[in-house]
Amino acid sequence: MKGDSLGQLILTGVPGFELDSETAALFRSVQPGGYILFGRNIQSAAQLRKLIDDLRDLSEIEPIITIDQEGGRVSRLRLIGNEPPNAQQLRDRDDVALVRRHGEITGQLLRLFGFNLDLCPVLDISFDDEADNSLRGRCYGKSVEQVVRLAGAFNDAMRAEGILSCGKHFPGYSAATVDAHHDLPKINRSRAQLDGEELAVFRQFVGSVDSMMICHGWYPSFNATKTPASLSREIITDLLREEFQFSGLIMTDDLDMGAILNEYGLEETIRLAIAAGNDWAMICHRVASIAEVHAILGKLPSAETQRALESVARTKSKLAPPAEFSGTKFKEIDSQILDLRVAVLGEEEAAKRSPEDGKRSPVETY
């Protein structure tokens, strides 16, 4: 790949419901490798498909278009349709067939809009369902076996529909006691504890997820000095790449979170992220800064950027094309989501939605 393809190492957010001329010019110049959409980008079914088509049209290399469509409150598409059950609700039913159905419907829904990667499944174990660490309702199990069985069913079914998957939040965010959207959590788990629980799950998915998202948590068992996992060579290269032999795409969690912004400047963040072994730097909110990120990437050692570019290209070789869009097909899939919700929750509970219903949260990254 040529040097001007370094934008392929950027996963960027998009400002609004449609591409204004300034943003389109920025994206055409930088050529990001991927785009992540949030509630701020979703107004209607037809509008969303047009936005995604426009992003693809201005990309010289087919882009990855991704979203957080997990279920429950972390379901961006509930803004224009029914809310799927979340992982905990599915876990409480403990019915693999329902989880598999959720994966199938999710894959079909995303293909309809032109997405090709979903930022899930969450592979974290729930140590405390009420913990205030952003994982509430999002975990498929309270044990290694339960997470592997249920998240695996979702993952396999969604991928069979042509949507790539992402395991998160490596190396395991379960023991965090604060939310990385605001501050960097210190996760005091020994290597033996991690091996017995969190990492035991991720090991099972090394060959079956297409990408991994690295969390913003400090693990003293890997880094004695304060270092987010997302910027840690010991965790990303030594552990995930070399020890676990993971060959898929590796991305940071959002580098616009407080856990990173409070500690590092932009240039240092990008330099450390790529040096640690990430293939993608995720910039969700400071969209205008991706031109600067592109310039920073050009200053990095070519061996580091070439490694990352090759990983992105390998992942893109697996992309499936979008399905043909129709409003009728969307309504059919949306009806199936409601049917699944009723099957999981019952009629009365299915009529209720998450408290965030209808709101576009100022914090939209997970």
Q: Do the beta carbons of residue 6 and residue 293 sit within 8 Å?
A: no
Please tell me the total count of domains within the chain.
1
Of 143, 142, 144, 140, the C-alpha closest to 70 is: 140
Residue 279's alpha-carbon distances to 6, 121, 271, in angstroms, are 11, 19, 12
Q: What is the per-residue pLDDT for 47? A: 98
Q: What is the per-residue pLDDT for 353? A: 86
Instruction: Give the separation between CA 182 and CA 185, rounded to whole angstroms.
Output: 9
Q: What is the per-residue pLDDT for 359? A: 44
Mean pLDDT, 10 residues at a time, over the chain (366 residues)?
78 97 98 98 98 98 98 97 98 97 98 98 96 92 98 98 98 88 92 98 98 97 97 98 98 93 94 98 97 98 98 98 98 98 96 66 49
**Structural domain contains residue 187:** yes
| Strands 249-252 and 211-214, bridge-based pairing | parallel
Global pTM? 0.95
Q: What is the per-residue pLDDT for 363? A: 46
Full residue range of the structural domain in which residue 187 is found? 10-350
**Structural domain contains residue 357:** no
**Structural domain contains residue 3:** no
**Structural domain contains residue 361:** no
**Structural domain contains residue 189:** yes
Q: What is the per-residue pLDDT for 1? A: 38
Instruction: Give the separation between CA 255 and CA 259, rounded to whole angstroms.
Output: 8
CATH of the domain at 332: 3.20.20.300
Of 248, 319, 305, the C-alpha closest to 271 is: 305
**Structural domain contains residue 125:** yes
Instruction: Give the separation between CA 137 and CA 69, rounded to whole angstroms.
Output: 13
Q: What is the per-residue pLDDT for 360? A: 43
Convert the pLDDT of each residue in 154-196 to its tens digit: 999 999 999 999 999 999 999 998 888 888 999 999 999 999 9
User: 55 — phi, psi (to 5°)?
Assistant: -65, -40
Convert the pLDDT of each residue in 282-331 to its tens digit: 999 999 999 999 999 999 999 999 999 999 999 999 999 999 999 999 99
Q: What is the per-residue pLDDT for 366? A: 58
Q: What is the per-residue pLDDT for 2? A: 40
Q: What is the per-residue pLDDT for 171? A: 98
**Structural domain contains residue 2:** no
SS3 165: coil
Q: How far is CA 290 from the centre of its chain?
A: 19
Give the E-state strand segments of the chain in sequence order: 10-13, 34-37, 64-67, 69-71, 74-75, 117-118, 166-170, 211-214, 249-252, 281-283
Note the residue count of the chain: 366
Residue 321 exposed, middle or buried by CB count within 10 Å (0-12, 13-18, 19+)? exposed
User: DSSP letters of 34-93?
Assistant: EEEE-GGG-S-HHHHHHHHHHHHHT-SSPPEEEE-EEETTEEGGGGSSPPPP-HHHHHHH
